[in-house]
Amino acid sequence: MKIGMLTSGGDCQALNAAMRGVVKGLEESCNGDVEIYGFLNGYKGLIYGDYRKLTGSDFSGILTRGGTILGSSRQPFKMMRVPDENGLDKVEAMKSNYRKLGLDCIVILGGNGTQKTANLLREEGLNVIHLPKTIDNDIYGTDITFGFYSAVDIATACIDCIHTTAASHNRVFIVEVMGHKVGWLTLYSGVASGADIILIPEIPYEDDKIIDAIQKRHQQGKGFTILAVAEGAISKADAALSKKERKEKLAKEAKKWPSVSYKIADMITERTGSEARVTVPGHTQRGGSPCPYDRILCTRLGSAAAKAIVEGKFGNMVAMKNGETKLVPLADVAGKLKTVDPDCKMIAEAKRIGISFGD
């Protein structure tokens, strides 16, 4: 059996652990009669035939290693049908390299954009298995994505560290957490770290509500406030704009503020007189070793992927649903986004203990 493998899009802590799970599962199922070809730097490797043959030893000792031994890159789905600068048809090139190696299947690890291209390859006749990776936890059809809880650990630790300096100086601190379109990471790390205000893209905020929450804490004798803000947080006023109007406004504001957190910080300082500081952990949220939960999750997803390959159940994403692995057709989930439901129980429970969402 010949299997291709690639990791595409943004990296995360548990990619190696997931690949290890697949390979160990295949070696056990096929009594070692399996060849693994790793395409380097995401879809670029599949497009340009940049790969290397891997052995079981390549996957030994990488359960705890962050990043990806294959390298990764971002290849926007909307550009996949557009020829490269030399006129190369990317889709045909990927199909050709798959067939030249005589692959039985290609295992693709990645997020939403990666998944859409995986589905495209399925539609083109290739045998594909997708494993859901992203620190954003926004892939439709699975309860959890690997990389998410590892990122939650890091973002939570960052906010935890801010608590002591915020309390010492009686300041308002904003920690900007990754998440342009969805707020899963900000929500979980904000609740885990005891943030006082959590702002996520799914719940547009009002400046007045933020100020009310800060002043309420001040009246209670609490001299500091911590905000966990998703990088994609948006005000109600901006949410009401058309897409074009919002884009034009953001372009103007970018000249003054690096991100929404700095805009909110200036608003808080102006309206309360309290000094507001911004901390951006950035790509540290993608780094380091995967947490124990992700190691277990990836081992299970990888094992389930190996079983699907041996049984010929291609064209699927290996998902986690209600604590069990499940095969979900790529055709049913590709292109869909899993967002936070503003009316979900977790939001209601967070509000019940006094956390403000700016609404």
Strand pairing partners for 60? Answer: none
* Strand order, beta sheet including 35-39: 51-54, 35-39, 2-7, 105-110, 128-132, 316-321, 324-329
Amino acid in the structure at residue 294: D
How large is the greatest C-alpha to C-alpha distance in the chain, in angstroms? Answer: 70
Nearest CA to 80 among 72, 89, 71? 89
Catalytic, 153? Answer: no
Q: What 8-state DSSP symbol labels residue 311? A: T
CA-nearest of 279, 169, 271, 276 to 215 is 271
- Among 11, 136, 138, 196, the active-site one is 136
The DSSP bridge partners found for residue 82 are: none
Neighbours of 92 (CB within 10 A): 12
The one-letter code for the residue type at 76 is P
- Segment holding 259, helix H or strand E: none
Kindly report the backbone phi and psi dihedral angles of residue 152, in degrees, each rounded to the nearest multiple of 5, phi listed first: -60, -40
d(CA 163, CA 174): 11
Strands 225-230 and 197-199, bridge-based pairing: parallel
How far apart are alpha carbons 354 and 111 in whole angstroms? 33
Contact residues for 179 (Cβ-Cβ < 8 A; gap 6+):
136, 185, 186, 200, 201, 230, 231, 232
Hey, which residues does 130 pair with through a beta bridge? 108, 317
CB half-sphere exposure, 11, CA atoms < 13 A: 21
Q: How far apart are CA 191 and CA 263, in angstroms?
A: 23
**Residue closest to 337 by CA, chosen among 157, 137, 193:** 137
Residues identified as active-site? 136
